[in-house]
Structure 1
Amino acid sequence: MMTSSADALLAGNRLTLTDYRAKHFLWSVTNGVATITLNRPERKNPLTFESYAELRDLFRDLVYATDVKAVVIHGAGDNFCSGGDVHEIIAPLIDLPMPELLLFTRMTGDLVKAMRHCPQPVIAAVDGVCAGAGAILAMASDMRLGTARSKLAFLFARVGLAGCDMGACSILPRIIGQGRAAELLFTGRAATGDEGFAWGFYNRLCAPETLLDDAATLASELVAGPTFAHGITKKMLHQEWSMSIDEAIESEAQAQAICMSTRDFERAYRAFAAKARPVFEGD
């Protein structure tokens, strides 16, 4: 039987986020699917210092959340996100000394790290403008649904910055290939929805009016699956980028052995034997 100290330790590393009250975007949780809505449609949903920090902290907390099994992120209105707010972020940055600029760029990079390290699959539902830091949010997600009118643009070169922002030079080539990534990062041009789909940035294109529902349906399908194992899959997809083939095979052997010790693995077998559909519970 678990000791009271062990109970306390586990309790201290569990969170429920259904009732979380976001300050700088909208947040809701329904049947294990969390929805983040960037909610400044009159400005095409730009990010601020505060929304960057709150998103970073929320994705960090998701590591311990017991009630969130998948995340959908989208923008209110007809656009995903126009990037960092020109007046609330870009203008103040001009006057900051380099050490403080480095604090900011590390903070924005920490948001991507938090998205990559939370165990929940993250699905970006991208309509309209998806630019700058907004393009990074979509890139850092595990899957992306777009529309024909999606406009993907890594605008950094157009404001005098390098394209190597928030992990773009590492992650983007792995999604769309080195040459295509180089083109977008050097030129800052917008890729159409059709281009993004053909290049593999979007998993599929949806009608604008069904985009959010399609993303929620995909998220619900993932929630109905073996969510503990999904977390392992996400971890290995990220972790194996820096491994040799031999290291990856050994790591996957260890990861799969862990998954074989779960109740979900046993449930799947018993359901198969009974010619029934397994009901996974994530343990």
Structure 2
Amino acid sequence: MSLKTHHPVPLPLASYKAQHVKLVVEGKLATLTLNRPERKNPLTFESYAEIAGIFRAAAHDDQVKAFVITGEGGNFCSGGDVFEIIGPLVEMNTVDLLKFTKMTGEAVKAMRACPQTIVAAVDGICAGAGAILAMASDLRVGTAKAKVLFLFNRVGLAGCDMGACSILPRIIGQGRAAELLYTGRAMGGEEAERWGFFNKLSSSENVLADATALAKDIADGPTFANGMTKRMLEMEWAMSVEQSIEAEAVAQALCMETEDFSRAFHAFAAKQKPVFEGN
């Protein structure tokens, strides 16, 4: 059992051979699949660390412009593996427990820190740490069959896990987030779309294709500018309106120096659709 914060990951991501999750890089798009379908894709100590390592490496990858994260076999993720994680945690001392909780948080930190847009394709069970991975993504495409559960209190734990008390209220609002975190109840797919957790609903047959199409569309956009948008969305939560306006002035000025900004102007002048290259 390893509690390392991350695995060393070779660059570029296209050369990385994942051991505990499935990673496929095709052009500008990387797809990360949780692939233990016989148990609804639970996470292990190793897969937590590998996910963190992949997204840390993504911050230095110039080829990959967007991510899709999904689960194999009709479910997204059932959370931490009961026997491979929950059982061992009961036997750990405080020092090792803190190492574990910090290690799991690294996955969310890496997802939020990488410049690429992350689109989650969510079907079936999306529970515990699986719900956190969906929450930590930038966009979420779900299905009516999806069941999202922040079920930490059901196992005697607080709802404040891996950033849930910070990020979830930003997505669905404080009151709704509090309800889910206090009760641990399932949020159905249609409710999740109505509350804004899912950006759109798709069918089980098409959810991955729809999420992939959305990610590809973003990957074809001005990716430096998209990365700046992600960064500012993250930073401005702790800023006043005045600070946000000043920070966005700097961010936008930097984007105006890119070739993509120039390409967009010349394409508009020529009445053509701009072809962005991410620089």
The normalised TM-score by structure 1 is: 0.94
Q: In the alignment, what sits opposite 1:90?
A: 86
Deviation at 1:230, TM superposition (A): 0.5
Picking from 121, 128, 132, the partner of 2:128 is 132
Q: Deviations over 1:214-247 (max 9, x none)?
A: 0110011001100111100000000101001111
Q: 1:121-160 counterparts in 2 under 5 A?
A: 121-160=117-156
Q: In the alignment, what sits opposite 1:3?
A: none
Deviation at 1:29, TM superposition (A): 1.0
What is the aligned-residue RMSD (CA, Å)? 0.9
Q: Among the aligned pairs, what percent are the same residue?
A: 64
Q: In the alignment, what sits opposite 2:267?
A: 271
- Structure 1: runs of 5 or more not aligned: 1-13
Picking from 64, 72, 82, the partner of 2:68 is 72
Q: Look up the SS of the partner of 2:133 in the other structure.
A: helix
Q: In the alignment, what sits opposite 1:223?
A: 219
Q: 1:109-188 counterparts in 2 under 5 A?
A: 109-188=105-184
1:44 lines up with 2:40 in the alignment: yes
Contact (CA 8 Å) 1:39, 1:45: kept in 2 or not? yes
- Structure 2: runs of 5 or more not aligned: 1-9
Q: In the alignment, what sits opposite 1:59?
A: 55
Deviation at 1:31, TM superposition (A): 2.2
**Residue type of the alignment partner of 1:79:** N
Q: Look up the SS of the partner of 2:205 in the other structure.
A: helix
1:102 lines up with 2:101 in the alignment: no
**Residue type of the alignment partner of 2:103:** M
1:19 lines up with 2:15 in the alignment: yes
Deviation at 1:18, TM superposition (A): 1.3
Q: In the alignment, what sits opposite 2:29?
A: 33
**Residue type of the alignment partner of 2:106:** D
Contact (CA 8 Å) 2:13, 2:54: kept in 1 or not? no
Q: In the alignment, what sits opposite 2:252?
A: 256
CA distance in 1 between partners of 2:277 and 2:11 (Å): 17
**Residue type of the alignment partner of 1:240:** E
Q: Deviations over 1:109-154 (max 9, x none)?
A: 1110110010000000000000000000000000000000000000
CA distance in 2 between partners of 1:135 and 1:262 (Å): 36
CA distance in 1 between partners of 2:103 and 2:95 (Å): 13
**Residue type of the alignment partner of 1:61:** A
Contact (CA 8 Å) 1:127, 1:147: kept in 2 or not? yes
Contact (CA 8 Å) 1:146, 1:206: kept in 2 or not? yes
Q: Deviations over 1:4-27 (max 9, x none)?
A: xxxxxxxxxx94211211000111
CA distance in 2 between partners of 1:197 and 1:143 (Å): 12
Q: 1:186-201 counterparts in 2 under 5 A?
A: 186-201=182-197
Q: Look up the SS of the partner of 2:253 in the other structure.
A: helix
Q: Look up the SS of the partner of 1:275 in the other structure.
A: coil
Q: Look up the SS of the partner of 2:23 in the other structure.
A: strand
**Residue type of the alignment partner of 1:43:** R
Which runs of 4 or more aligned residues in structure 1 lie more than 6 Å from their structure 2 counterparts after TM superposition? none
Q: In the alignment, what sits opposite 2:7?
A: none
CA distance in 2 between partners of 1:173 and 1:280 (Å): 34
The normalised TM-score by structure 2 is: 0.96
Q: Look up the SS of the partner of 2:166 in the other structure.
A: helix
**Residue type of the alignment partner of 1:55:** I
Q: Deviations over 1:180-216 (max 9, x none)?
A: 1111101111010011000000000001001111011
Contact (CA 8 Å) 1:15, 1:66: kept in 2 or not? no
**Residue type of the alignment partner of 2:244:** A
Q: How many aligned positions are there?
A: 270
